[in-house]
Structure 1
Amino acid sequence: MKIYGDIISGNCYKVALTCALLEIEHEWVSMDLLKGDARTDEFKAKNPNAKTPTLELDSGQTLWESNAIINFLAHDTELMPTDAWQIGQVQQWQFFEQYSHEPFIAVARFINKYLGLPEDRKAEYESKQVGGHKALQVMEQQLQQTPHLIGEQLSTADISLYAYTHVAHEGGFDLSDYPAINAWMDRIQQHEKYIGMEK
């Protein structure tokens, strides 16, 4: 299989980390979105939404949206529960990540790290801080109760939220007031098959 992505994108890193933890063989095809790599006709034939990550199977089938990809890859593994309630919890946290976490933390990171915090986007950057900390507080509350987001077991819910949380400081978020999140990140990083964002 091939994975099209930019490893320093949190969404693409989710897929790389899932593959590492599960020892899934794949070809990583590096993409530079700022240079327009995803806007070519050839790539849009694989993903009409012109975004990464995109998974291409040997059959030619393609799958996009990061959480869909990691759930597909984790099917029938220890990273994806089989209990219906726990599956619902995984999806709950993944929807939370897409709607309540990423729009604040990932966007603030993009404005600061990729764009260099230009003056015309400074107000937008600052506006992301409140929403980002709200999301972190929700995670902190859960992780004070359980070692992972859905309980004892590491799952794709953790991978989804770890991706941008562990680089939240690049978006101006100070994580020093979130001890449970820091302990959770340490647990993930101690996994014997863990890889960092830089491949």
Structure 2
Amino acid sequence: MLTVFGDIRSGNCLKVKWLLDRLGRDHQWVETDIMSGASRTPEFLAINPAGQTPTVVLEDGRPLAQSNAILLYFAEGTPFIPTDAYARARMMEWLFWEQYSHEPYVAVARFQRLYLGKSAEEIEPRLMERGRAALERLEDALAGRDWLVGDAPTVADLALVAYTRAAHEGGFDLTPLPNLRAWIQRVEAAFAIG
């Protein structure tokens, strides 16, 4: 059986779960509490030497890590990956941007506030500046459009909604971002995210 090692508090893990659920893929979820060091045990490191979640073990025993690589693997051949080469490249552009320019700020601020208990004053100002810039970039990109790429949801939308929908937990105010808020609702509906 397909096995997913993930921490349910992590947006990177949740986006994998949401896609598998949306595709109706039967899988076993193994809760892997990163805060208690569960991803650093010898057993886990034997599966993923990087010690990161999510990690998937396919039915044939092969492991696969990195949330967006996992999304691309399971979404192959579905409507969530465009068939047009340019649209597919734009989708990947957003996936790379998510891990480089969005997640390191929005998710890290959330982690520090929610799980480390830091106050707003203890969060590095540059972290908040870059997080706000990422959210504003999404707001601008969604002006006059429903999805990040093309006329239908892709895994880029799913990847970016994971931490965007929880940005308020990191101290980011989405109130002045109407395009973004409406997009979150559309993505949640498209992927049946509760």
TM-score interval w.r.t. the shorter chain? over 0.9
Deviations 1:118-150 (A, max 9, x none): 69x8142x3311101111111111111320000
Deviations 1:86-119 (A, max 9, x none): 1111110011111110111000000000000069
Ranges of 4+ aligned residues in structure 1 off by more than 4 Å? none
- Residue 44 to residue 122, structure 1, CA distance change in 2 (3 Å): same
| SS of match in other structure, 2:56 | strand
Whole-angstrom CA distance in 1 between matches of 2:192 and 2:158:
11
Aligned-residue sequence identity (percent) comes to 43
Q: Which 5+ residue runs of structure 1 have no aligned equivalent?
A: none
Q: Which 5+ residue runs of structure 2 have no aligned equivalent?
A: none
Whole-angstrom CA distance in 2 between matches of 1:90 and 1:190:
19
Judge conservation of contact 2:87–2:150 (CA < 8 Å) in 1.
no
Equivalent residue, structure 2, for 1:195: 193
**What is the one-letter code of the residue matched to 1:65?**
Q
Judge conservation of contact 1:4–1:55 (CA < 8 Å) in 2.
yes
Whole-angstrom CA distance in 2 between matches of 1:118 and 1:45:
37
Judge conservation of contact 1:20–1:195 (CA < 8 Å) in 2.
no
**What is the one-letter code of the residue matched to 1:195?**
I
| 1:151 shift after superposition | 2.1
Whole-angstrom CA distance in 2 between matches of 1:89 and 1:171:
28
Deviations 1:71-97 (A, max 9, x none): 100000011112111111111001111
Equivalent residue, structure 1, for 2:128: 129
Equivalent residue, structure 1, for 2:41: 40
Q: 1:81-120 counterparts in 2 under 5 A?
A: 81-117=82-118
**What is the one-letter code of the residue matched to 1:113?**
L
- Residue 118 to residue 180, structure 1, CA distance change in 2 (3 Å): closer
| SS of match in other structure, 2:47 | coil
| 1:3 shift after superposition | 0.4
Whole-angstrom CA distance in 1 between matches of 2:153 and 2:31:
27
**What is the one-letter code of the residue matched to 2:34?**
L
Count residues with an aligned counterpart.
193
Whole-angstrom CA distance in 2 between matches of 1:88 and 1:145:
21
| 1:21 shift after superposition | 1.5
**What is the one-letter code of the residue matched to 1:50?**
G
What is the TM-score with the length of structure 2 in the denominator?
A: 0.95
**What is the one-letter code of the residue matched to 1:97?**
E
Judge conservation of contact 2:109–2:123 (CA < 8 Å) in 1.
no
Is 1:167 aligned with 2:166? Answer: yes
What is the TM-score with the length of structure 1 in the denominator?
A: 0.93
Moved more, 55-64 or 138-147: 138-147
Whole-angstrom CA distance in 1 between matches of 2:180 and 2:192:
17
Whole-angstrom CA distance in 2 between matches of 1:29 and 1:139:
32
What is the Cα-based RMSD across aligned positions, in Å?
Answer: 1.4
| 1:195 shift after superposition | 2.8
| 1:15 shift after superposition | 0.2
Equivalent residue, structure 1, for 2:29: 28
